[in-house]
Amino acid sequence: MTQYLIAAALGLGIFFSALQVVENRYESRRLFIELQELHKHKDDLDQEWSQLLLEQGTWGAHGRVEEIARSKLNMTLPAPDKVYRVKS
């Protein structure tokens, strides 16, 4: 009788161990897929960041600012006698 109980206990142990292996593999695959998605999202954000830096450089260029000041705001450089230097 005890031999059957030991065999049943071992069988249950093996069964639950197998279930745990299946669950761990499933979780591992799920986490790997999530990791791949996060890597892709990071790559997309890096690409967008590079494009934004390039755009910022374009919009902030001195020539671009001067062009907008002249065309849209009708600004001009002051005459040399109207320029004053402030001493610090």
* 3-class DSSP assignment, residue 8: helix
Return the pLDDT at 57: 84
37 and 31 Cβ atoms separated by less than 8 Å: no
For residue 82, the 8-state DSSP code is G
Q: Is the pTM of this model over 0.85?
A: no
Return the pLDDT at 63: 81
Helices (H), 1-88: 2-59, 62-71
Using alpha carbons, select from 50, 49, 67 the residue that is nearest to residue 59.
Answer: 67
Confidence of residue 66 (pLDDT cuts 50, 70, 90): confident
Task: Report the pLDDT averaged over residues 48-58.
Answer: 91
Domains of the chain, residue spans: 2-76
Q: Which residues of 3-41 are buried (b: 16+ CB within 10 A; e: fewer)?
A: eeeeeeeeeeeeeeeeeeeeeeeeeeeeeeeeeeeeeee
Task: Report the pLDDT averaged over residues 69-80.
Answer: 89
Return the pLDDT at 28: 98
Does the structure show a pLDDT above 90 at 68? no
Q: Give the model confidence (pLDDT) of 5-26 as tens digits.
A: 999 999 999 999 999 999 999 9
